[in-house]
Amino acid sequence: MRGEVTLPGDKSIAHRAIILSSLANAKTIVRNFPLNEDSLATIAAFRKLGIKIALNKASYCAVVHGKKLYGLRKPGSGVYIKESGTTFRLLLGVLAGQPFKAKLCAGLSLSRRPMLRVIEPLRLMGAKISARSQNYPPVTIVGNNLKGITYKLPVASAQVKSAILLAGLFANGSTRVIEPVKARDHTERMLKLFKADLKIKGSSVIVKGQKELVSPGPIYIPSDISSAAFFMVAASIIPDSKVLIKNVSLNPGRLGVINALKRMGAKLTVKKSKLNYKGNEPMGDIEIKSSVLAAIRIRKNDIPSLIDELPVLMVAASLAKGTSVFEGVSELRVKETDRIKSMLTNLTKMDANIKVVRSRGQENIIIKGVNELHGAKVKSFGDHRTAMSMLVAGLAAFGETSIDDISCINKSFPNFLETINKLI
């Protein structure tokens, strides 16, 4: 693999940009907007709620005409979120403070994912919420006059934190979220950019409600580091590779994959981006070359900073020298699919030495590196990150690898195949 690429904008940041732009006082221009299914689901949801959003797909630019905090319109029917868990959970936070009733519906996979972690704190703030089996989409929410609360997250979750902070924009008084482990802070950074009354004190994030948001005008979305992870691992394990990935988000809460690969001995360098951009998110270029990787131990506290990158890191560990341990990975079971099952099944077919063990009440993945993987017939399990991870594994393996269905990749990276083929 050789060459340089610019990847789509970070969808975690893109979701938040559309949400806060819709709640702001004026027009906001969002540049390098990613055209994946999840990000487009957020645009569709806010259009349904009465926000005018113009999207130029040729220039990757979205123009959002904000209507202030209480400018959303009651939808005439259910708001369909497709499979975007981030859109669903964050929108619950926004709708908790609106003076109307709304129903959020989801696709088949997302309808099997639990929502109670978000529903419980929003109920404490005063929202009236009902869900299928008390936990699963569809979810009906009746907005209310919210009150600020102090809420300690039971587990680190950027989505739950974000939903509570967004609800806090509408609440009387202050809302404080206490994190057990610092999760990614895209929402806090974006709230500051939009002039929200927000403070960070140690492990607490505090937002004061009832203050209107101010549009910053233009926003640039850096490239998604989760997408970049597939190229970083591929370039590390495929011989004679050298790849430059441009304008990547370097949010401190998302650097887990870079730190993990460096600890494994990857020849990885972060450089200053040449793009003239001043924004709320740090950004840079990542150069990575072929490496001889060594085993790694990833602790439970490391997981929040690289949860989305764990599948492709399992591929890297399968070809690393020594035995790698990924601790406390149970959260992987409640993603688009059970990613522990999908990666264990697929990598075992490719002759990786991988197993799952339980120790002290937590699940750990143990991977003993092998000299080579072998091509096999594998499955995506309908999960975009599993599919892309297995494509990377297939590139590094001896023999042919076939994957049953890769349409799920459109969820986050529609032109993944086209991009990776440019480097081969």
Q: Can you give the length of the chain in residues?
A: 424
- Domain annotation covers residue 129: yes
Same-domain check for residues 104 and 56: yes
Domain closes at, from 162, 178, 209: 209
CA atoms of 408 and 195, how far apart (whole Å): 37
pLDDT tens sequence across 352-362: 999 999 988 88
Same-domain check for residues 45 and 134: yes
Mean pLDDT, residues 376-403: 97
Structural domain that includes position 163: 2-209
- Domain annotation covers residue 214: no
pLDDT tens sequence across 293-315: 999 999 998 988 898 999 999 99
- Domain annotation covers residue 218: no
Distance of alpha carbon 272 from the chain centroid: 24
pLDDT on residue 361: 84
Of 308, 338, 351, 404, catalytic: 308
- Domain annotation covers residue 234: yes
Distance of alpha carbon 387 from the chain centroid: 16
Helices (H) and strands (E) in the chain, counts: 12, 22
Same-domain check for residues 46 and 114: yes
- Domain annotation covers residue 112: yes
Same-domain check for residues 185 and 237: no
pLDDT tens sequence across 178-212: 999 888 899 999 999 999 999 999 999 999 999 99
Give the number of domains in the chain: 2
- Average pLDDT of the chain is 95
pLDDT on residue 193: 96
Same-domain check for residues 30 and 122: yes
Q: What is the CATH number of the domain that holds 408?
A: 3.65.10.10
Distance of alpha carbon 55 from the chain centroid: 22
Cis peptide before 138 (omega within 30 of 0): yes
- Domain annotation covers residue 215: no
pLDDT tens sequence across 62-112: 999 999 999 999 999 999 999 999 999 999 999 999 999 999 999 999 999
Same-domain check for residues 192 and 288: no
CA atoms of 14 and 11, how far apart (whole Å): 5
Lookup: tokens for 313 = 């890191």
Same-domain check for residues 273 and 191: no
Q: Which residues of 52-89 are buried (b: 16+ CB within 10 A; e: fewer)?
A: ebebeeeebebbbbbbebebbeebeeebebbbbbbbbb
Same-domain check for residues 252 and 353: yes
CA atoms of 327 and 355, how far apart (whole Å): 12
Please indicate whether residue 285 is annotated as part of the active site: no
CA atoms of 5 and 184, how far apart (whole Å): 25
Same-domain check for residues 135 and 201: yes
Domain closes at, from 178, 209, 240: 209
pLDDT on residue 277: 80
